[in-house]
Structure 1
């Protein structure tokens, strides 16, 4: 008894799609947690949110082999419309540079984000990066178990 190649190819394609969906879901979940960590802090432990642009520029992009698969919302805060645009553009620019495999890129897209962290000693993305580094091994382990036959 033999299985037609079309059935084998259909099975392989379905498994590839299932794998990609699980990976993107896991990376999206981690990205959302990082965005919450970076954006949703009270003013007392964060920077002063004058225009809303810096907070609006925080978000993420997921890419596979340089092709963007998903973005976060880049939700506008106050009058931070420029932040939304800058954040999404910056996330896309960085994510497209990774042409081999999957990547989650979390950004603060305003050009002064690094200055706020360095000069004002305020946490913009530092805690989100630490959070991601801590959470990633656990998430990868869970993902591996979901992908196992």
Structure 2
């Protein structure tokens, strides 16, 4: 909850308190997103949580380790990468595709399989990251809701 030192604060003091409160929330939200992103990467690389009804063939055989090693995440705040698990320069095509879409303000966690053939592998009935992304989405909503509640924010 936002608390002011005194009730007779100036507009500038109120604005400063609000901005500090907002910065604290954003910093905590980024940490939660990083934790969920790391879990997403770990689960995708170790084949955990594969939805067999969607991917009847389960996981693919990664013979070169290129596809699995390309799995990672980016956290963006107002279109700037603030945290990542993949080297940004090595994955510029992924980053470019994120920014060519409609501009989005706020925070985003983007899980990726950096090889261009990942979607082709999934279209053949094998899981690459989709099952783990579904788990990450649920975890992220639960965890961010808890952080938001701490700051008096309601997430629907």
Q: Does 1:116 align with 2:121?
A: yes
Question: 1:46 is matched with which residue: 59, 65, 68?
Answer: 59
Deviations along 1:2-30, one digit per CA (max 9) or x if unpaired, are 43555434323321210110111121121
Equivalent residue for 1:134, pick from 134, 138, 141: 138
| Contact 2:25–2:148 (8 Å) recurs in 1 | no
Structure 2: segments with no counterpart, 5+ residues: 1-6, 49-57
State the Cα RMSD in Å: 2.8
Deviates more, 1:52-61 or 1:1-10: 1-10
Name the TM-score, length of structure 2 as normaliser: 0.72
CA distance in 1, matches of 2:104, 2:142: 25
Conserved? CA contact 1:26–1:139, under 8 Å: yes
| Deviation sequence 1:45-100 (CA, Å, 0-9, x none) | 532222221111111111122121111246xxxxxxxxx923xx354234434422
1:85 aligns with 2:90: yes
CA 1:109–1:18 in structure 2 vs 1: closer, same or farther (change >3 Å)? same
Aligned length: 136
Give the distance between the partners of 1:29 and 1:40, measured in 2 at CA. Answer: 17
Distance 2:64 2:135 in 1: 26
Give the drift of 1:103.
1.0
Alignment counterpart, residue 129 of structure 2, candidates 125, 131, 134? 125
Could you tell me which residue of structure 1 aligns to residue 151 of structure 2?
Answer: 147
Which TM-score applies when normalising by structure 1? Answer: 0.74
In structure 2, the CA distance between the partners of 1:112 and 1:25, relative to structure 1 (3 Å rule), is same
Quick one: structure 1 residues 90 and 143, their matched pair in 2 at CA, closer, same or farther if it must change by over 3 Å?
A: farther
> Among residues 74, 77, 81, which one is paired with 1:68 in the alignment?
81
